[in-house]
Amino acid sequence: MRIAINTGGGDAPGLNAVIEAVVMSAWYRNWEVYGIRQGYHGLLDTDDIIQLTPDKVRNISSVGGTILGTTNKGNPFEMPFENGAGEVEIRDVSDRVVRNFQRLGFDCLIAVGGDGSLKIAHDFFKKGIPVIGVPKTIDNDMVGTVATFGFDTAVSIATEAIDRLHSTAKSHDRVMVVEVMGRHAGWIALNSGVSGGARAILIPEIPFDIDVVCEQIMNDELQGTRYAIVVAAEGAKPLGGEIVHRGDGEKGRQDVLLGGIGNVVAEAINKKTGKDTRSLVLGHLQRGGSPTTFDRLLALRFGAAAVRLVEAKQFGRMVALNPPNIDAVLLEDVVGAIRTVPLESDTLQTARDIGISFGEPAS
């Protein structure tokens, strides 16, 4: 058996653990594993394919990033090319990928990626490549699995950052707005905000009213708490898609789709409350470095489970955490969808119970 493996999309702590588990599980079955570099690019230009043997992967599970490299600009079904006249043309080069895959004698592809990369994996499955998907994203928004690796690490990093901000915010009587990752779902913001004692958490699932957030900050002030931490997911949206600065006679529109929601929120709070505010974007810090033990173990389990699926010839599936087990779900049932935070989630309820605001207007 010759297995090809690639990692696609934004990196997440735990990718190397998947690779290690795949290589070792295959090795003990006397199978070969080949690493495809830079997502699907390595199957377009095949010079860089490397055989992965135990000596190349031993103990990489604790190392962040991916030894195979990754990219989120490599969909072979819609590849951008410069056409020579300074224009970008989109071409479908997926047949070339299939031809190279067959020429190299691979029996299957283990594709480790987020929704975008696994959608591509599913499209290749439909073109005849035996594929197994392994879900990855720090955002935790993949459908079909209770968790993705990388998420626990991102939450730990964000929580530590919030913990550290308390003392500086308190010393200066400031409002600190922390922007965390999560374009479509507020999992990181919710879990780190609750764990870290945020005063307000802004997530894409609940459009927020900035006036409600400000009211809470000013009520706290009246009761003697003169600082606050607000955690905003990068995809959080104000009600109506804009923040209105009342009182200064003009309507200051901020297009949150341009990003920088943390900044937008901090400015609005400053304008509306007069409080000193600062914002910071945690950004890629949340993706860098070693995976937590939880993520490492989950990723190792995903990798080993992927090889068991290869053995059982259960292609077109994605490994998934369904505690306490690792299950397999059909790729066609999970790609193209986003798992957002359910509004009846227990963590969300816990946050409300302990007085954390989501900026929801009173109904």
**Catalytic positions, please?**
139
Residues 6+ apart with CB under 8 A from 327: 319, 320, 321
Which residues, 311 to 340, sit near ligand F6P by CB under 6 A?
Answer: none
Q: At what angle do helices 151-172 and 293-311 cross, to 10 degrees?
A: 160
Shortest Cβ 338–ligand F6P spacing (Å): 11
Residues 232-251 that bind ligand F6P (CB under 6 A): 234
Window of 88-96, 102-110, 180-188, 291-299 that interacts with ligand F6P by CB under 6 A = 180-188
Q: Give the SS3 label for residue 66.
A: coil
**Which of 337, 348, 354 lies closest to 116, judged by CA?**
337
Q: Are 315 and 130 in contact (CB under 8 A)?
A: yes
Q: Residue 183, interface with ligand F6P (CB under 6 A)? A: yes
Comparison of 182 and 359: residue with beta carbon closer to ligand F6P: 182
Q: For ligand F6P, which is the closer residue by CB, 75 or 137?
A: 137
CB 180, min distance to ligand F6P, A? 8
| Residue 241, marked binder | no
Name the residue nearer to ligand F6P (CB basis): 130 or 150: 150
Q: Rule CB under 6 A: choose which of 139, 152, 179, 267 binds ligand F6P.
A: 139
Instruction: Tell me which residues in 275-294 interact with ligand F6P (CB under 6 A).
Output: none
Instruction: Report whether 184 contacts 139 (CB < 8 A).
Output: yes
Mode of pairing for the β-strands spanning 79-82 and 50-52: unpaired
Does position 273 bind ligand F6P by CB under 6 A? Answer: no
Q: Which is nearer to ligand F6P, 108 or 121 (CB)?
A: 121
Q: Are 47 and 105 in contact (CB under 8 A)?
A: no
Instruction: Give the position of tokens 């490299």.
Output: 69
Site for ligand F6P contains 182 (CB under 6 A): yes
30 Rama class: left (phi>0) / alpha (psi -120 to 50) / beta: left
Number of residues that bind ligand F6P (CB under 6 A): 10
Taking CB under 6 A as the rule, does residue 72 contact ligand F6P? yes
Question: d(Cα 343, Cα 17) in Å, to the nearest integer?
Answer: 33
Which of these ranges, 76-84, 135-143, 301-309, 342-350, lies near ligand F6P under the rule CB under 6 A?
135-143
Stretch that binds ligand F6P, among 89-97, 156-164, 178-186, 310-318 (CB under 6 A): 178-186
φ, ψ of residue 132 to 5 degrees: the values are: -120, 135
> Residue 330 contacts by C-beta under 8 Å, 6 or more apart in sequence?
316, 317, 318
Contact 114, 184 (CB under 8 A): no
Indicate whether 99 belongs to the interface with ligand F6P (CB under 6 A).
no
> With respect to ligand F6P, which residue has the nearer C-beta, 109 or 282?
282
| Positions in the binding site for ligand F6P (CB under 6 A) | 10, 72, 114, 137-139, 181-183, 234
| Feature table: binding site for substrate | 137-139, 174, 181-183, 234, 278, 284-287
